Amino acid sequence: MNSETPGQTAATAPHGADNRRGPLRPGERVQLTDEKGRHSTITLTEGGAFHTHRGFLPHDTIIGKPEGTIVTNTTGQQYQVLRPLLSDFVLSMPRGAAVVYPKDAGQIVTMADIYPGARVVEAGVGSGALSISLLRAVGDYGSLHSFERREEFADIARGNVETFFGGPHPAWNITLGDFQEEVVRTEEPGSVDRVVLDMLAPWECTDAVATVLAPGGVWISYVATVTQLSRTAEAIRADGRFTEPDGWESMVRGWHLEGLAVRPDHRMVAHTGFLLTARRLAEGATGLVAKRRASKTNFSEEDLNAWTPAAVGEREVSAHKLRRAARDASSKVQRGALENAEKYNADQDGTPETP
């Protein structure tokens, strides 16, 4: 675990707020936005230049200026200069695997209660987008231990994290390998505050998560499909060492704001993934299970392949009820036909004859 250096504050720490304040410095990344709203991100170097087919912009016209400055290149093109936000960076950084979008990263940090100084483990690391948000939340004196089974992804993530923070982050380390095997080897039982999983099969990690998570610790999983959501929730219940799982999704709809034309955008990112949380119970405690009517729905491998009503928790409908519904439906059709016929006749009677 990292410890605070005497005399250092959260602002002056290696990745503290002071790095993002004040005039723009050589070595910093800045986002240029042109008059058409197109973004380019550059790293400022003394004597460097940003070239396009419409002239070039010397970096020295930016260095030393405040954020929000408007600069002009050699052919009169104007650019607005800002430090990129985390959300700008994540959406434009190199990707190996699908990234967790900022809207979900925000939910994860808040709903998994990731706090400064927390001990967090994460898998898989993918492109490192979520790792950046988690590192921001734990801060320089917390710890984020990320597990990734594929070396190429770990390399991409390392590159992205280091680019974003301007070098290695003191709270971060990556272990290569399968989370469920490596985490129990590297973390003491009951020592981890939060577990964050974004992977294909989080249900395979239930035992490992229960082993390393401290009592009261939060486990959050991000999954892309309802089949994964359902299987993870059932694995958590079956394990018995966690509270009842909570699942949800979030949707964010941008708005077009122009004069009186204020309305939702025509396009949106409609689906990213689902989130699921559960908390570790104290050792030996038995979870309170919500009282439900007796159910015949046992979750099995077969259910994954066939969406039977039982597998999705629907009540079995008796053959008798189905026959009655069919009779109702058919009598409605007949009644409708009769009413239509009467209406037709009435219309015919009332229609003036053509001359």
Ligand X SMILES: C[S@@+](CC[C@H](N)C(=O)[O-])C[C@H]1O[C@@H](n2cnc3c(N)ncnc32)[C@H](O)[C@@H]1O
What residues make contact with ligand X under the rule CB under 6 A? Answer: 97-100, 123-124, 126-130, 147-150, 153, 178-180, 198-200
Nearer Cβ to ligand X (32/205): 205
Distance (Å, whole) CA 41 – CA 92: 9
Q: How many CA atoms lie within 13 A of 2 on its CB side?
A: 23
Give the nearest distance from C-beta 224 to ligand X in angstroms. Answer: 8
The residue of the chain with the least Cβ separation from ligand X equals 124
Nearer Cβ to ligand X (28/104): 104
Nearer Cβ to ligand X (172/179): 179
Sequential DSSP letters for 118-134: -EEEEE--TTSHHHHHH
Give the nearest distance from C-beta 198 to ligand X in angstroms. Answer: 4
**Residue 220: both structure tokens together:** 């959050």
Distance (Å, whole) CA 157 – CA 198: 14
Q: Do 72 and 78 form a contact (C-beta atoms < 8 A)? A: yes
Q: Do 148 and 204 form a contact (C-beta atoms < 8 A)? A: no
Give the nearest distance from C-beta 280 to ligand X in angstroms. Answer: 19
Give the nearest distance from C-beta 206 to ligand X in angstroms. Answer: 12
Nearer Cβ to ligand X (24/108): 108
Nearest C-alpha neighbor of 77 from the set 42, 53, 96, 107? 53
Give the nearest distance from C-beta 165 to ligand X in angstroms. Answer: 15
Nearer Cβ to ligand X (73/127): 127
Nearer Cβ to ligand X (65/149): 149
Q: How far is CA 265 from CA 162, 253, 254, 269, in A?
A: 34, 7, 6, 11
Distance (Å, whole) CA 181 – CA 95: 26
Give the nearest distance from C-beta 168 to ligand X in angstroms. Answer: 18
